[in-house]
Amino acid sequence: MLTKSDLEQIKKIINMELEPLKEDIVLFKDEILYEIIDLRDDISVVVGYRDLIEDHEQRITNLEKTPLIKL
């Protein structure tokens, strides 16, 4: 039969074994979080310039039709 002391020792051993895993999980979570933040920033830039991006073909066509001014 296990005593309280035995259970405490088992807990300590398990915690010691899981500590590196916890650290890996935290680091992985941080990496994912920073990637999401970067993606969110990219999306906000694209959304802000959506009109300019969507009609770029028409703008290019208009520029190509405009004659060059020679000085």
Task: Please give the model's pTM, rounded to 2 decimal places.
Answer: 0.47
Q: Which residues contact 2 (CB under 8 A, 6 or more apart)?
A: 10
At 47 the pLDDT is 74
Q: Give 34-55 pLDDT, tens digit per residue.
A: 999 988 888 877 777 776 677 7
Token pair 């990219």 is found at: 42
Going from N- to C-terminal start, the domains of the chain cover 31-64
Please check the confidence at residue 30 and state whether its pLDDT lies above 90. yes
Contact 23, 17 (CB under 8 A): no
Please check the confidence at residue 61 and state whether its pLDDT lies above 70. yes
Considering only CA atoms, give the Rg of the chain.
Answer: 30
Q: Phi, psi at residue 13, to the nearest 5°? A: -65, -45
- H helices within the chain, ranges in order? 4-48, 50-54, 56-65
